[in-house]
Structure 1
Amino acid sequence: MNLHLLAAAMCAMALSVSAAAQTPDLAIIARTSGTPDIPGLKMVWLAPWGEVSKAHPWRNIIVHQTEGPVGSARGGAEAQFKNPTRRGVMVWVETDGTVYWAVTENLVPTHGDGGNRNDNKYVDNGETFHQVVGDNSVGVEFAGNYPDVSRGPTDAQIVAWRILVKVLRLRYGIPPGRVYAHNWIDFKDARYCEGCALATMARQWGE
């Protein structure tokens, strides 16, 4: 009986090791080039990754929410791809969780308002005032809060965000404390806190 149990345990351990060996390492994937398959993400690559060593020196992540309707992420991403430095972001997330990578990593889209918040309402703005800006921050835009701007992200967006923010952090060496909601660093629309729930989640996941 004991021999049978030992054999079963060893078999289970071998299967576990085999499964682990077959599980893609997200840290390795996050440092590759091209258009990699990222487990758990539906990625649409408009602009593929280059060599990460040649990417712009990204130091922060800023979470945005657009007032576009459901289905608007693709259009926003395609317009961004055609004119990378226009006002917008590098990565767009649709309500169904689809992620659009729209801008080559060495180009800087125009987003953020210059880190002009200085009232310490959400975070210590002594560390962000005129320092967390579009030039050093990856912008991620979540679509679909029209016509009710107070509507939060969808469940599918949250699932995608959990993986996406980890990939961004691993790729560019960004700690969780450098993930910011747009409202935390800029004076924004007073009707709601843009990106606050998503940025808070990202920081909690990273701890």
Structure 2
Amino acid sequence: MIMSRLLAVLAALVLSSAASAQMPDLATIARSQGTPEIPGLKMVWLSPWGDVAKSHPWRNIIVHQTEGPQGSARFGAAEQHNNPTRRGVMVWVETDGTVYWSVADNLVPTHGDGGNRNDNKYIDNRATYHQVIGSNSIGVEFSGNYPDVAKGPTDAQIAAWRVLVKLLRARYGIALEHVYAHNWIDFKDARYCEGCALATMARQWGE
């Protein structure tokens, strides 16, 4: 009995090691096309990846939070997919951590208010004032802070973000210091700091 259990454990370890060896690393996956399976993410592909060399020249990531209720990320992503340049973002994250890739990465959704913050309240805005804008920044929307706009992201959203931010940076070659909260670059709702906790986490996690 003991020997059979030991053999079963060893077999499981061998299979696990073989599977790990076959799974490409995140950097390799990030440069791929189609609808790849991404370890650590539940990704819903409304638009598949194309050739990253033909994508829009993204330089920044802007973290948004919407006042939509639980379940609104799916709806928002679908609306964005149907009308890619409407006011919204490329990537939506539901409260359960599900990530929706809504539009092709050679298209530019409308988001951000022009990088109009210049008061240095959160960061030094000399490099962001009218420079970090929707047309050069990937928008990531975290849903579910309704009716309390100051409500933070869920644990599932944080776990997804830990993988997603690395994936986006690897795919588009975006520097860590180019991950911004919406409130860091634009004057927003004074009741809370939109995206600040998530952008801070990304920078603290580092490379």
Tell me the TM-score normalized by structure 2: 0.91
Identical aligned residues as a percent: 78
Moved over 4 A (4+): 14-20
- Is 1:73 equivalent to 2:69 in the alignment? no
Rounded to whole Å, the distance in 2 between the matches of 1:188 and 1:50 is 33
Q: Where does residue 143 of structure 1 map in the other structure?
A: 143
Instruction: Give, in angstroms, the shift of residue 17 of structure 1.
Output: 7.3
> What secondary structure sits across from 1:126 in the alignment?
helix
Q: Where does residue 63 of structure 1 map in the other structure?
A: 63
Q: Where does residue 53 of structure 2 map in the other structure?
A: 53
Offset from partner CA, 1:132-179 (integer Å, 9 cap, x none): 000000000000000000100000000000000000000000011000
Q: Where does residue 182 of structure 1 map in the other structure?
A: 182
- Is 1:38 equivalent to 2:38 in the alignment? yes
Instruction: Give, in angstroms, the shift of residue 206 of structure 1.
Output: 1.9
Instruction: Give, in angstroms, the shift of residue 22 of structure 1.
Output: 3.3
Cα-Cα RMSD:
1.6
Instruction: Give, in angstroms, the shift of residue 71 of structure 1.
Output: 0.5
72-81 vs 19-28, greater mean Cα deviation: 19-28
Offset from partner CA, 1:10-43 (integer Å, 9 cap, x none): x9xx969757523431100000000000001000
How many residue pairs are counted as aligned between the two chains? 195
- Is 1:91 equivalent to 2:87 in the alignment? no
Q: Where does residue 131 of structure 1 map in the other structure?
A: 131
> What secondary structure sits across from 2:126 in the alignment?
coil
Q: Where does residue 164 of structure 1 map in the other structure?
A: 164
Rounded to whole Å, the distance in 1 between the matches of 2:19 and 2:55 is 33
Q: Where does residue 4 of structure 1 map in the other structure?
A: none
State the one-letter code of the partner of 1:159: A
Q: Which 5+ residue runs of structure 2 have no aligned equivalent?
A: 1-9
Rounded to whole Å, the distance in 1 between the matches of 2:85 and 2:22 is 39
Instruction: Give, in angstroms, the shift of residue 204 of structure 1.
Output: 1.1
Rounded to whole Å, the distance in 2 between the matches of 1:18 and 1:143 is 37
Tell me the TM-score normalized by structure 1: 0.91
Relative distance call for 1:19 and 1:104 in structure 2 (3 A) is closer
Rounded to whole Å, the distance in 1 between the matches of 2:19 and 2:105 is 33
Rounded to whole Å, the distance in 2 between the matches of 1:93 and 1:183 is 18
Rounded to whole Å, the distance in 2 between the matches of 1:44 and 1:116 is 33
Instruction: Give, in angstroms, the shift of residue 205 of structure 1.
Output: 1.2
> What secondary structure sits across from 1:135 in the alignment?
helix
Rounded to whole Å, the distance in 2 between the matches of 1:111 and 1:20 is 38
